[in-house]
Amino acid sequence: MKSFLCLKSIIMATMLSGAALMDGALLVIAANEKCPQPQTREHFAALDIVGVRNLVIVQNKVDVVTPEQARKNYNEIKEFIKGTWAEKSPIIPVSALHKVNIDVLLMAMEALIPTPKRDPTKPPLMFVARSFDVNKPGTPPDKLKGGVIGGSLMQGVLRVGDEIEIRPGIRVERPGGRIEYVPLTTEIVSLRFGDLEVEEARPGGLLAIGTKLDPSLTKADNLVGNVVGKPGRLPPVLNTLRIEYRLLERVIGTKELLKVQPLRVREPIMLTIGTAVTLGIITRLSKDEVEVVLRRPVVAWEGARVAISRQVLGRWRLIGWGIVRE
């Protein structure tokens, strides 16, 4: 099973988190708009940062333009990706409204986004992208179901009955106002891929794990950004990150082509690692490395990719990326 991501107008942090789970992507571009739009630059940069290289470009809304306009837009797309890793990616014209060329799009997805080879012997590791309470208001106590966590299993195998650990865990305020995060341990009671319930889950697709957790812990996406695995087998929880970084030439997501200014000590930045989004303060800085003290700890390991954003024109904008170093 393989995982796809359709990149459209969603906020940068969510997009980067979702892209981290995917084996391939569809970059959707409207045929009735000049290309590239700011969000197109943003989405393309996100794919570059998280390392997604299997790409199919979807030229949508060809039904609302003339053939000449569609051809002009097609050439704009070709010019946009010229000289990049995506230069040879196919551009499929479609009308999603009228379901035109969807069969061709599906063929391209199947041919160009291969199912990755997985190593089932690796310890399980899953990024949590959703968490929720499935119980309806007024459910009797004896009928309550445990909390559900959803995401993508990146490696390993999970089975019903397995004990799992969730890190960093839940936020707890200690006496004196000190905040810490406490890992959770629970048992898997169900595994679902969409409407299909299974006894065993392997990487690929979006997985929902039913647990014995109190549903109050999982409601309203409370556990998003956590990592799931076998107890004692997960990467460490870190409050400080040392990142080998690279800044982009231009700020991504603005109509104006703003130049990215250098990072500054004591500057607040936003980091996206897997599905975790956290704010941090730069404490040390060199030409190619930055040390950041995090407001919220994250599970990270050497070599993990990090997206770096800063406040530009009142919004968090993507300005660079990096690799976690020990």
**What is the rounded distance in angstroms from the CA atom of residue 7 to the CA atom of residue 44?**
9
d(CA 320, CA 310): 9
- Please write the tens of the pLDDT for every residue from 143-153: 999 999 999 89
Write out residues in the chain with pLDDT < 50, as ranges.
Answer: 5-10
DSSP state of 52: -
pLDDT value of residue 109: 94
How far apart are the C-alpha atoms of 162 and 325, rounded to whole Å?
31
Task: Name the residue among 62, 49, 132 with its Cα closest to residue 304.
Answer: 49
Q: Measured between alpha carbons, how far is 47 from 19 in angstroms, rounded to an integer? A: 7
Q: Specify the 3-state DSSP secondary structure of 194.
A: coil
Residue type, 80: F
pTM: 0.79
Domain 4-112 has CATH 3.40.50.300: yes
Residue-by-residue DSSP string for 220-256: GGTTTT-EEESTT-SPPEEEEEEEEEEEEEEEET-SS
Pick the CATH number of 125-229 from 3.20.20.60, 2.40.30.10, 1.25.40.80, 3.80.30.20: 2.40.30.10
308 Cβ contact list (under 8 Å, min separation 6): 243, 245, 247, 269, 270, 271, 318, 319, 320, 321, 322
Name the 3-class secondary structure at 196: strand
How many Å apart are CA 203 and CA 152, to the nearest integer?
Answer: 7
pLDDT 10s digits, 10-21 = 355 555 655 556
Write the class of the CATH domain 237-325.
mainly beta
**What is the pLDDT, as a whole number, of residue 7?**
41
Q: Where in the chain is the domain with CATH 2.40.30.10?
A: 125-229, 237-325
| 268-284 per-residue burial string, b: 16 or more CB within 10 A, e: under 16 | ebbbbbbbbbbebebee
